[in-house]
Amino acid sequence: MNSRALRRVGLMAGVATTAAIVLSGCAGSSNPSPSESEGEQNFEGVELTLATFNDFGYTDELLAEFTEETGIKVVHNKAATSNDARANFFQKLGKTGLADVEAVEVDWFTEMMKYSDLVAPVPEDLKGRWLDWKEQAATDANGNLVAYGTDIGPQAVCFRADLFEEAGLPTDREEVAKLFPTWDAFFDIADEYVAKTGKPFIDSANSVLQGLVNQLETAYEKPDGTIVATENPDIRAAYDTVVDRAVPISAYAGQWSEDWFASMASGEYAAMLCPPWMHGIISGNAPDITDWDVADAFPEGGGNWGGSYLVVPANGANVAAAQKLADWLTSPETQIKAFNSAGTFPSQPDAQSSPDLTGFVNEYFNDAPTGEIGINRANAITVSTYKGEKYFQFHDALQNAVTRVFDGVEDKETAWNTWVTEVSAF
């Protein structure tokens, strides 16, 4: 081949390569055509995807049962953390790429409610399956229930019996439960403990803020969209209570730090506000401590922390089959099985009468009847806090204010004023 011919081949090759790259760059955007809508109730051979995070207790065996009943295959994708799931969910919502059934955590559930028209509503006949407040939080402005509740986090009080004994407090869980009828009583006991031992009573000041805010009807926003954050006297009262009474008795400002995890075993504090899912975290971080126990009490009623929902994206290929799967997974019977494998506390009243739950005892917590306690705590929750789309931002900023006071960076009034300026920019 002479050099000119060689060059010509090169030219062609260059054109071809370039064209190929340009074409492949464009190819990604073409959408796969949505498949034909399925026949009425025959889902034989349909394959669904289910996306969850952490551990929902949906084991392969459990999903195999569903396949056996309906003939629908289920592929289960688990994200490592709720944050990963959140990023993925919002990047794909309304477009393509979401699983047929997606799990949504209560922390970012309010953000999702803004897009409630993009998920398929729950069929009418399923209404009433879940606890009232769980359903209420998932009902959009048009009165549609848009999400299937999975678990809840009814809070109780976890305590260290040995440290209580040293401070001269009762150690029996029935008696401890009587100590905390109100927040005032809770803080009085805490002050007493701190005075006697010189050590903090609870783990974190912001967990108290969480508890207080979750007992309010209106927190930062009203259902009609008006923002009341800085004018709401209840929020100011909660902030005052936390700063004046909770900060002095807390070991840390917030949770989830290196130090905080290490402190569960070190006996730095004697009590924690704990939802059922916290039990696993305590036993995991302090495996050698034998004195953790759970008291069936929460100041001034109840409080929920955490829990999730399942949603069916409305533009999925198999919405009807996906609804069937979400329905099946959140049925009381399935949720009890999930509880047995992962400890996720069911949000369905019917599940709460199951002997599997009522008879459940936790060995690590000195055989505390955590099933029964969870049911009692869930029933004590009477208020459902309205959480608007910016709830997370407001609450996070207020937690930062508490942290600043705790750290001594700012005093009480300065921290509050900083918060007011901060949230007015939202």
3-state secondary structure of 170: coil
Q: Residue for token digits 């060995």?
A: 363
Pick 217 or 259: Cβ nearer another protein: 259
* Subset of 20-49 contacting another protein (CB under 8 A): 21-22, 25
Q: Which of 238, 331, 399, 416: binder of another protein (CB under 8 A)?
A: 399
Residue 58 contacts by C-beta under 8 Å, 6 or more apart in sequence? 50, 52, 76, 329, 338
Rounded to whole angstroms, the Cα distance separating 30 from 325 reads 29
Residue 265 contacts by C-beta under 8 Å, 6 or more apart in sequence? 285, 286, 287, 288, 289
Q: Which of 87, 141, 237, 361: binder of another protein (CB under 8 A)?
A: 87
Q: Which of 353, 407, 416, 420: binder of another protein (CB under 8 A)?
A: 407
Cα 413 to Cα 244, 383, 410, 416: the distances in Å are 12, 29, 8, 5
Q: Which two tokens stand for residue 380?
A: 């004590």
Q: Which two tokens stand for residue 248?
A: 């002095």
Q: Which of 350, 393, 412, 420: binder of another protein (CB under 8 A)?
A: 393
* Subset of 122-151 contacting another protein (CB under 8 A): none
CB 367 within 8 A of CB 392: no
Residue 114 C-beta: closest distance to another protein, Å: 8
Residue 21 C-beta: closest distance to another protein, Å: 6
Residue 93 C-beta: closest distance to another protein, Å: 5
Pick 368 or 401: Cβ nearer another protein: 401
Pick 91 or 136: Cβ nearer another protein: 91
Binding mask 216-255 for another protein (x = CB under 8 A): -------------------------------------xx-
Q: Is 178 in the site for another protein (CB under 8 A)?
A: no
Pick 64 or 262: Cβ nearer another protein: 262
Rounded to whole angstroms, the Cα distance separating 46 from 24 reads 30
3-state secondary structure of 168: coil
- Type of residue at 75: V
Pick 87 or 361: Cβ nearer another protein: 87
Q: Which of 1, 4, 60, 198: binder of another protein (CB under 8 A)?
A: 4
Q: Which of 64, 75, 237, 262: binder of another protein (CB under 8 A)?
A: 262
Q: Which of 90, 287, 361, 367: binder of another protein (CB under 8 A)?
A: 90
Residue 62 contacts by C-beta under 8 Å, 6 or more apart in sequence? 334, 337, 338, 341
Q: Is 424 in the site for another protein (CB under 8 A)?
A: no
- For another protein (CB under 8 A), the number of binding residues is 42
Q: What's CA 196's distance to the chain center, in Å?
A: 36
Q: Which two tokens stand for residue 175?
A: 């008696």
- Type of residue at 300: E
CB 327 within 8 A of CB 193: no
Q: Which two tokens stand for residue 79?
A: 């994200």
The region that residue 343 occupies, defined by phi over 0 for left and psi between -120 and 50 for alpha, beta otherwise, is left
Stretch that binds another protein, among 162-170, 274-282, 324-332, 391-399 (CB under 8 A): 391-399
Pick 116 or 370: Cβ nearer another protein: 116
**Residue 115, number of CB atoms within 10 A of its CB:** 18
Q: Which of 38, 73, 79, 118: binder of another protein (CB under 8 A)?
A: 118
The backbone torsions φ and ψ at residue 376, rounded to the nearest 5 degrees and listed phi first, read -60, -45
Stretch that binds another protein, among 110-118, 143-151, 314-322, 334-342 (CB under 8 A): 110-118
Binding site for another protein (CB under 8 A): 4, 7-8, 10-11, 14-15, 17-18, 21-22, 25, 87, 90-91, 93-95, 111, 115, 118, 253-254, 256-259, 262, 393, 396, 399-401, 403-404, 407-410, 421-422, 425
